[in-house]
Amino acid sequence: MKRIALLGMPNTGKSTLFNRISGASARVGNWPGITVDLMSAKILIGGHIAELIDLPGIYDLHGFSEDEQVVRRFLSNNAVDLVIVLLNSSQIDRQLSLVLQIKKLNIPSVLALNMADEAKQSGITIDTESLAKAMHLPVLSISAKYGDGLPKALQAATQIINQNQTATDPKVISQLLQEDHQIEHEMEDLIQRHVQIPTTFTNNTTDKIDKILLHKWFGLPIFFVAMFILFQFIFTVGKPLQDGLAWALSLFRSGLLEPIFASSPAWFSGLMLDGVYNGVATVAAFVPIIVLFFLVMSMVEDSGYLSRAAFLMDSLMAKMGLDGRGFVMMLMGFGCNVPALMGTRIMRSRPMRLLTMLVIPLSLCSARLQVFIFIITALFTAKHAPLVLFTLYVMSFLTMFLTAILFQGQYKNTEPFILELPPYRFPTLRQIVLRGWHEVKHFLVRASKFIVIGVVMVWALTNFPSNVPAASAGTYAGQIGALFAPILDPLGINNQLAIALIFGFVAKEIVVGALAVIYGMQGDALMVHMATQIDWVQAMSFMLFTLIYTPCLSTIATLKSEAKSSAFMWLSIAWSLGLAWVVSFVFYQGARWLGY
Amino acid sequence: MQLLSQLKIGQNATITAIEADEYLFHRLSALGFRVGKPLSIIRRANFNGPLHVRLGTTDVILRDSEATRIRINAEI
């Protein structure tokens, strides 16, 4: 099978192009020579099935960041038949270096110039035909966003693939990679001959928006208000959808599943209905909100606002030994901690990377969000709900800041802070949906695996030994709960909640499902029942603990592999557990002392 | 000749020298910081935060500590 790699600098629309070519078929895979997972997809090109690999966005094939090393190791361990290099047309004057570097490796390549419309608006004209002749490779203008010019580019790629050249031996490439060629002059020469760039350049729309969003005093408040409104939006739109789905799921149970299992043994129908179905259905009801969250987040990410957030937050982050990029990773962590941890690879300084990685697991990820939405809906009025959730987000930030401040002495930073500020781009609906779909698929695969295993275990623990009433103090779950009672009682966390917390260590996706199994109810009935079991102070204490303690096993595993240190992993676990206990203790005892 | 960090907001200048270690030099040059290139400062974040610099078609943000590595000739 032919192998095609997609390469480009950050912010050139590489993922957009990858998503457009691969549709929804992309998957994550391992590659020889690198420890990182890369996205790849099988595509049909000129009658062949080829594998398209999305390499990380890099500035320089000879650079020193981890992503740059990943690309080098990939190329020197895997034979590649074709590299599609994607550049941003308006920045061709500096980005051309990347394709020249690839050319020096003798890998067949196609140059795709993205965002031709933006370049045209700013008066840049590129003579693609003469540039192609001068560089001896196909050069094509495309729009990854709208798909213009894509068929031609793929046709050019097909021609190269069909020439059936034997791919350059990776060993040779690895040798070639060691030489740092001087391509400065070559690049300037090419630009001068084939590209016209006006001397003054302004993107008026972006400038106007920046005047407001990067305003000296209003910039930060606007940012936080914007985030608050987005969360408010997710809640308002998602809640009715969630209610509808929950209603349909319980109807499915009473109408179809209960009659089917009526004749099977009691333990089996218990396992299937009270265990698997209740657990999975309770979690499934949250899918609409998770989907909305990912759609909104991918929109914010693609718009270019996140690097503005880095600009606004950098001076504050510097005081905590982090930088603006760390703040962006923290925000990414609100989707899922795992990609955020992997995103820290752009940092070269190990101390700063470790400090950022210590902070990220404290960001309120979508799996925790699901637990909070459930508890908040059960115990707080609709009027208070957004406020409680917002408080939890604020707490998430506060614990992150506290951690960074306390540990910054241990992890001294030496890394320069330079970041590109891309113009604002409004992603198309297709872009948002495709990105969102990838994230959601990822989430569902991970969640469903954990949830089914998790809820079955919870069901077993709460139903055995079989001679005591289910979920009573005599079951294994009750015994485990009692074991932890001395530690968790001072936090107002009862035995049932303690079980949910223990399983939440594996994945937060399980927590709500576990509660459904522990109480033997689902949906509204479970919420009403929980409201009679615990008061709001206990609920808040439980949520604070859930927020701060270890997010999930995947995060732990990622943390260990990214930091390449078990000691660091244990430090992270111990710190988050300790902090969670202290915060919940102070809150619970404080609230009780105040008479709540 | 002065340092990029001393340039006033709105003022134009030309890069005359970059004094940085290999890593920083690579990164700067990949983003378009090269001797002879014109640039200007668009804004500066509060509390001595990063500078927002425009180089040709690229907007870049960087801290003071990096901006002191870049020598410039300011237009009068």
Q: What is the pLDDT of residues A410-452, one digit of tens each?
A: 888 777 888 888 888 888 888 788 877 776 776 677 667 666 7
Digit-coded pLDDT (tens) for A59-86: 888 877 778 888 988 988 888 889 999 9
Report yes or no: A465 and A286 within 8 Å, Cβ to Cβ. Answer: no
Residue A93: is its pLDDT beyond 90? no
Q: What is the pLDDT of residue A505?
A: 79
CB < 8 Å to B24, chain A: 416, 418
Work out the average pLDDT over A283-303. 75
Question: Which residues in A43-77 are b (16+ Cβ under 10 Å) and which e?
Answer: bebeeeebbbbbbbbbbbbbbebbbbbbbbbbbbe
Size of chain B in residues: 76
Whether residue A197 and residue B43 make contact (CB cut-off 8 A), yes or no, is no
Query: What pLDDT, on the 0 to 100 scale, is given for residue A24?
Result: 63
Residue A447's pLDDT is: 63
User: Residue A549, exposed/middle/buried by CB under 10 A (0-12, 13-18, 19+)?
Assistant: buried
Residues of A in contact with B57 (CB under 8 A): 90-91, 93, 122, 124, 197, 201
Nearest in space to B4 (alpha carbons), one of A315, B29, B13: B13
pLDDT of the residue at A113: 93
pLDDT tens sequence across A476-534? 888 888 888 899 999 999 888 888 888 887 778 778 888 887 887 777 888 888 888 88
**What residue in A sits closest to B33 (Cα-Cα)?**
A94
Percent of chain A at pLDDT exceeding 90: 19
Nearest CA in chain A to B51: A311
Residue to test with chain B: of A67, A94, A308, A412, most B Cβ within 10 A: A94
Q: What is the CATH number of the domain that holds B57?
A: 2.30.30.90
Give the mutation candidate from A223, A418, A419, A421 for the B interface (greatest B CB count, under 10 A): A418
Q: pLDDT tens across B61-74, in order?
A: 998 888 999 999 88
Give the residue among A393, A308, A441 at the shortest CA–CA distance from B52: A308
| pTM summary value | 0.75
List strands edge to edge, sheet with B51-55. Answer: A418-420, B58-62, B51-55, B38-44, B12-18, B70-74, B2-3
Structure tokens at A528: 């009403």
> Do A418 and B46 count as a contact with CB atoms less than 8 A apart?
no
What band does A363 get if pLDDT is binned at 50, 70 and 90? very high
Contacts of B52 in chain A (CB under 8 A): 214, 311, 421
Q: Which of B38, B49, B58 sits opposite A94 (nearest CB)?
A: B58
Strand-pair category, A38-45 with A27-29: antiparallel
Q: List, in order of start, the domains of chain A with CATH numbers.
A: 2-196 (3.40.50.300), 221-415+425-593 (no CATH)
Q: Which residues of B15-50 are buried (b: 16+ CB within 10 A; e: fewer)?
A: beebebeeebebbbbbbbbbeebbbbbbbbbeeebb
Provide the domain limits for residue B33: 2-74
Q: What percent of chain A has pLDDT over 70?
A: 93
Please tell me the total count of domains within chain B. 1
Instruction: Characterise A388 by phi-psi region: left (phi > 0), alpha (psi -120 to 50), beta (else).
Output: alpha
Interface pTM, i.e. ipTM: 0.92
Chain A residues with at least one Cβ partner in B under 8 Å: 9, 59-60, 62-64, 90-91, 93-94, 97, 122, 124, 184, 197, 199, 201, 210, 214, 216-217, 307, 310-312, 314-316, 318, 323-324, 348, 416-423
Angstrom distance (rounded) from CA A183 to CA A180: 9
